[in-house]
Amino acid sequence: MRQSRRGQVDPFIVMDVMEAARKAEAEGRRIIHMEVGQPSTPAPQAARRALAAALDRPLGYTVALGLPELRRGIAGLYKRWYGLDLDPARVVVTPGSSGAFILAFSALFDAGERVALGEPGYPSYRQILRAMSLTPVGIPTRPQDRYQPRPDDLPTDAQGLILASPGNPSGTVLRREELAALTARAAELGMNVISDEIYHGLDYGAGFHSALEVTDEVFVINSFSKYFSMTGWRVGWMVVPDGMIRTVERIAQNMFICPPHASQVAALAALDCVDEAEANLAVYAENRRLMLERLPQMGFDRIAPPEGAFYIYADVSGLTTDSLSFAAEILEKAGVAVTPGLDFDPHRGARTLRFSYAAATAEIAEGLDRLAAFMAAR
Chain residues in the site for ligand PLP (CB under 6 A): 37, 96-98, 122, 164, 168, 196, 198, 223, 225, 231, 236
CB of 220 to ligand PLP, least distance (A): 12
CB of 175 to ligand PLP, least distance (A): 18
Compare residues 229 and 231 and give the one whose CB is closer to ligand PLP.
Answer: 231
CA-based torsion, 244, 249, 255, 260: positive or negative: positive
Nearest to 334, CA basis, from 307, 371, 360, 365 = 371
CB of 101 to ligand PLP, least distance (A): 7
CB of 237 to ligand PLP, least distance (A): 9
- Within its chain, how far is the Cα of 328 from the centroid? 24
Pairing of strands 339-340, 192-196: unpaired
The residue length of the chain stands at 378
Residue 27: beta bridge partners?
none
CB of 122 to ligand PLP, least distance (A): 4
Distance CA 132, CA 135 (A): 9
Compare residues 236 and 259 and give the one whose CB is closer to ligand PLP.
Answer: 236
Distance CA 36, CA 338 (A): 8
CB of 203 to ligand PLP, least distance (A): 14
Compare residues 122 and 300 and give the one whose CB is closer to ligand PLP.
Answer: 122
Compare residues 141 and 225 and give the one whose CB is closer to ligand PLP.
Answer: 225
Distance CA 226, CA 200 (A): 9
φ, ψ of residue 250 to 5 degrees: the values are -65, -40
With H, G, I as helix, E, B as strand and everything else as coil, classify residue 196: strand
Distance CA 226, CA 206 (A): 18
Compare residues 119 and 196 and give the one whose CB is closer to ligand PLP.
Answer: 196
**Residue 206, CA distances (Å) to 166, 200, 202, 287, 309 in order:** 10, 11, 10, 17, 11
Distance CA 176, CA 214 (A): 8
Compare residues 220 and 334 and give the one whose CB is closer to ligand PLP.
Answer: 220
Give the containing element (helix H, strand E) for 203.
none
Compare residues 37 and 335 and give the one whose CB is closer to ligand PLP.
Answer: 37
CB of 197 to ligand PLP, least distance (A): 9
With H, G, I as helix, E, B as strand and everything else as coil, classify residue 283: helix
φ, ψ of residue 352 to 5 degrees: the values are -140, 160
Compare residues 64 and 202 and give the one whose CB is closer to ligand PLP.
Answer: 202
Distance CA 130, CA 221 (A): 19
CB of 324 to ligand PLP, least distance (A): 20
Compare residues 269 and 309 and give the one whose CB is closer to ligand PLP.
Answer: 309
CB of 320 to ligand PLP, least distance (A): 24
